[in-house]
């Protein structure tokens, strides 16, 4: 669980530094790849999100 938290923290910290103020932090896994032109990676993250259970 600690290892997974490291990945989440790295995405969150990078998103807070790169994305403009007011961006939705819940969408960083999708918006960060799209901001750098990596649409295939954003599509993979979107499809992969279907496998996670709802909270």
Residue 29 domain boundaries:
2-51
Instruction: Note the pTM of the prediction, 2 decimals.
Output: 0.73
- For the chain, the domain total comes to 1
pLDDT digits 0-9 by tens, 17-50:
999 999 999 899 899 999 999 999 999 989 988 7
User: What pLDDT, on a 0 to 100 scale, did the predictor assign at position 49?
Assistant: 80
The residue that leads in pLDDT, 11 or 53, is: 11
What is the reported pLDDT for 41?
93
What is the per-residue pLDDT for 55? 64
Q: Locate 45 and state its tokens.
A: 């993250």
* Contacting residues for 31 by C-beta, under 8 A, at least 6 apart: 15, 19, 23, 24, 42
Residue with tokens 């403009």: 20
Per the CB < 8 A criterion, the answer to whether 40 and 24 are in contact is no
- Among residues 39, 10, 15, the alpha carbon closest in space to that of 26 is found at 15
């Amino acid at each position: 669980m600690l290892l997974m938290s490291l990945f989440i923290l790295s995405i969150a910290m990078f998103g807070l530094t790169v994305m403009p103020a007011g961006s939705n932090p819940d969408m960083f896994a999708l918006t960060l790849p799209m901001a750098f032109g990596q649409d295939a990676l954003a599509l993979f993250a979107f499809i992969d999100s279907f496998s996670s259970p709802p909270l």
